[in-house]
Amino acid sequence: MREFLMFLNSCPRLCQQPYSMHLLLDRCLFGRQMEMEHIMNFLLKEDIPSAENPGVLPIIAPGKVGKSTLIEHACEDERVRNRFSQIVCFNDDDVGHANMVALRDCGVIKHQNYSIGGDRILIIIELMGDIDEGVWGRLYSASKSSVAVGCKIIVTSRSDKIVSFGTTQALRVNFFTQEAYWYFFKVRTFGSLDAEEHPKLASLAMDMAREMNQCFMGSCIYSVLLKANFNARFWSMALARIREFKLKNNLIYKRVSCWWSLGGG
């Protein structure tokens, strides 16, 4: 028996699928496994002598698709925090300096751990618009002589122009399909219950998911309210309020990309 237990302990652990997916959604990044794997492979990959340093991963995505959230989750990973002594974030205004020394002084430090030793830094550059190729060229050239081997840069933008900045294949992040968003909202709202056993509520929930237009903040807030008031009357009122909010927001700001965000953001 002792030998058998030793054998079992030596085997890799397998994660068992829980009886209900709603137990997982609060603690994971929904529907972004492939994108996360792409980022983690870039961050944790050992540098080879012939590779360009620092490595650059461009991430192209439209506004409000969740690229900042995706990067935040990657930076929270213990493997990343144990690999880089510093994680520093910059925006458009910071990059305008085009000087690595000045850039370090104006960034926001997200993580710092000098106990791991070394000067390996992860630099996150989030661009709202385009960046001049000449500015980027000077910045990257300066970084080669001022950062240690093994440092990495992630640069995000809505523009395809940053693809040429990469030393590795760029990552493109797109919006979820409506079906994927509906699944997320349904699982959070119904929990371990079968939505098909509550057709009236399921129909109302589907209408709400459609009206919220893939706004995950709205889905998280409303799923809590709906679970606490599990009846058609309350859900009908909730749907009416969402539509009313969208209408008023549209009349005032002319467009609504995320109904929870005033002004359409």
Residues 211-256: tens digit of each pLDDT: 998 888 888 899 999 999 999 999 999 999 999 988 887 777 766 5
Domain end, chosen from 143, 172, 201, is at 172
Q: Is pLDDT at 258 greater than 70 in this prediction?
A: no
SS3 of residue 89 by DSSP:
strand
Of 116 and 217, more confident: 217
pLDDT value for 49: 66
pLDDT value for 182: 93
Mean pLDDT, residues 130-136: 84
pLDDT value for 20: 42
Which one-letter DSSP state was computed for residue 79?
H
Assess whether 191 and 164 both reside in one domain.
no
Assess whether 151 and 37 both reside in one domain.
yes
Domain end, chosen from 118, 147, 172, is at 172
Of 144 and 168, more confident: 168
Assess whether 187 and 134 both reside in one domain.
no
Assess whether 41 and 157 both reside in one domain.
yes
263 pLDDT band, cuts 50/70/90, is very low
Q: Is pLDDT at 147 greater than 50 in this prediction?
A: yes
Tens-place pLDDT, residues 9-49: 666 554 444 334 444 455 566 778 899 999 999 999 987 76
Q: Is pLDDT at 97 greater than 90 in this prediction?
A: no
Assess whether 87 and 163 both reside in one domain.
yes
Print the domain residue range for 247.
Answer: 178-253
User: Distance (Å, rounded) from C-alpha 204 to C-alpha 212?
Assistant: 12
Contacts of 105 (CB under 8 A, 6+ apart): none
Mean pLDDT, residues 140-149: 80
Q: Name the packing angle between helices 199-212 and 216-228 (round to 10°).
A: 150
| H or E element, residue 239 | helix 232-253
User: How does the average pLDDT of the chain come out, rounded?
Assistant: 82
pLDDT value for 13: 52
> In this structure, is residue 50 part of a structural domain?
yes
> In this structure, is residue 3 part of a structural domain?
no
Assess whether 136 and 82 both reside in one domain.
yes
Total structural domains within the chain: 2
